[in-house]
Amino acid sequence: RILQEFVDIIAKCGRKKSPEALQRLEEDFSCIKNVVQQYSRSSAKTEGGDEESNNLLPSDHALYSTTQWSYLDDYIEAHNELPADVGAWCNAHPNYPLRIHKALIDYLQGSNPKASRQLNADVEAMVARHTQETARRLTTDRRGL
């Protein structure tokens, strides 16, 4: 959940965030990441397990990606995309909530309202398809049990 909150912090900054502010946030998150990873390693050693056994969700869970540091790292890196590439990034990352996609589009395409509106519509459709596919897969998986 903490990684989702970090992504939300970045998204809520809106277009106001500068590249320098993003870099500072990335540095702060990196410090937190290092502490959490050290704790996880020491906790795994103390409990006789490994870091994999400390995973909150199984790797095939629909929300597994939100428990990985790459979830945050990828979103930060997305802010360096070219405005023309933001749609491709959103389509490649359907696991992010719509509001997060919209914040990224606003950040990268904010000066072009027409392109921003079209991208938002395209991403809304993509997120709806992804949600339907995930729901269908989960329903099918349950029936197979």
Return the structure tokens found at 75: 């979103």
**Is residue 45 exposed (0-12), middle (13-18) or buried (19+ Cβ within 10 Å)?**
exposed
Q: Is the model's pLDDT at 145 over the cut of 50?
A: no
Question: What residues contact residue 104 under an 8 Å CB cut-off, 6+ apart?
Answer: 11, 75, 78, 79, 86, 89, 90
Tens of pLDDT, residues 45-101: 666 555 555 567 777 777 788 889 999 999 999 999 999 999 999 999 999 999 999
Q: What is the pTM of this model?
A: 0.81
Identify the residue with better confidence: 15 or 21: 21
